[in-house]
């Protein structure tokens, strides 16, 4: 039986030009959702709990701090390193044709996440990550602000998080 639906990566936004520059919300998880990147300290305090990074989390943080050097057309707006997953809010500008990093933005996202995982895996001496990641195209300012707030409040809501184990 022939299907009329297009095959492709699930979760892609229909009618979005994935070859254009844009703003993205990315989430990726540790292998088997192991809590190895950070600890949430003071989460029972109604104030602001803090994220305390492990050695693996510090390695990842180091990579994120140098992201704009390796990827000059990528701007990291906001992120949080949770115990078993990471949220990034970033934008990709279209570089000049022929300039380093002039590939399609979604190719660059995939390559950047692969490099991030490779870097942290090499530092750890083991595979830390699930093979996939989730992406969400930021559609407008309200969506951007919603994602920013989600990242900000993620440590506070850790126990209700879908990744909580």
Do 78 and 151 meet the contact criterion of CB atoms below 8 Å apart? yes
According to the model, what pLDDT value does residue 45 have?
66
Residues 49 and 161 sit within 8 Å (Cβ to Cβ)? no
Confidence of residue 52 (pLDDT cuts 50, 70, 90): very high
Mean predicted confidence (pLDDT) in 140-156: 95
Look at residue 161 and tell me whether its pLDDT is greater than 50.
Answer: yes
**Pair 161, 29: CB distance under 8 Å:** no
Task: Sort 10 into a burial class: Cβ within 10 Å, 0-12 / 13-18 / 19+.
Answer: exposed
- As a whole number of angstroms, the distance between CA 133 and CA 85 comes to 10
Per-residue pLDDT of 74-110, as tens digits, reads 899 999 999 999 999 999 887 666 655 555 566 778 8
Q: Which CATH class is domain 35-143+152-160?
A: alpha beta
* pLDDT at res. 56: 96
Lookup result for tokens 């879908």: 162
Mean per-residue pLDDT of the chain: 83
């Amino acid at each position: 039986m022939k299907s009329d639906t297009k095959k492709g990566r699930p979760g892609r936004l229909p009618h979005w030009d994935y070859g254009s520059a844009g703003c993205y919300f990315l989430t990726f998880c540790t292998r088997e959702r192991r809590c190895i990147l950070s600890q949430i300290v003071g989460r029972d305090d109604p104030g602001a709990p803090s994220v305390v990074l492990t050695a693996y989390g510090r390695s990842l943080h180091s990579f994120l701090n140098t992201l704009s050097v390796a990827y000059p057309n990528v701007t990291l707006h906001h992120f949080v390193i949770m115990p078993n997953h990471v949220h990034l809010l970033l934008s990709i500008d279209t570089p000049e044709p022929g300039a380093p990093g002039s590939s399609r933005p979604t190719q660059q996202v995939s390559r950047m996440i692969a490099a991030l995982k490779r870097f942290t895996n090499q530092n750890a001496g083991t595979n830390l990550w699930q093979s996939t990641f989730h992406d969400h195209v930021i559609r407008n300012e309200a969506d951007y602000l919603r994602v920013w707030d989600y990242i900000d409040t993620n440590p506070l809501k850790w126990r209700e998080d879908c990744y909580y184990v």
